[in-house]
A = this chain, B = another copy of it.
Amino acid sequence: MAGHHTITETERQVENKLGGLPINFTATAAVSNIFRGATAVRNQLERTVLRPSGLSWTAFVVMWVVWVWEPIETRAIASEGGFSKATLTGVLTTLEARDFVTREKSPLDGRLVLVRLTDSGRELMENLFPKFNAMEEQIVSGLTAAETLTLATLLRKVTQSIEGDD
In the assembled complex, the Cα of A31 lies from the Cα of B82 at a distance in Å of: 14
Among A88-96, A97-105, A135-143, the stretch that binds chain B is A135-143
Q: Is A10 interfacial (CB 8 A cutoff)?
A: yes
Given A38-B34, A40-B163, A41-B34 in contact, is the A1-B158 Cβ separation under 8 Å? no
- 18 of the cross-chain contacts (CB-CB < 8 Å) are A1-B65, A3-B65, A4-B79, A4-B166, A13-B68, A13-B69, A14-B68, A21-B129, A24-B137, A26-B145, A27-B137, A31-B45, A31-B139, A33-B155, A40-B82, A41-B158, A41-B162, A141-B161
| B65 adjacent to A155 (CB under 8 Å) | no
Interface size of A by CB at 8 A reads: 75
| A64 adjacent to B4 (CB under 8 Å) | no
Other than A1-B61, A13-B69, A31-B140, give 17 A-B pairs with Cβ distance below 8 A: A3-B81, A4-B79, A4-B165, A5-B80, A14-B68, A17-B68, A24-B137, A27-B139, A30-B148, A30-B149, A30-B152, A34-B41, A35-B41, A36-B155, A37-B38, A37-B158, A151-B154
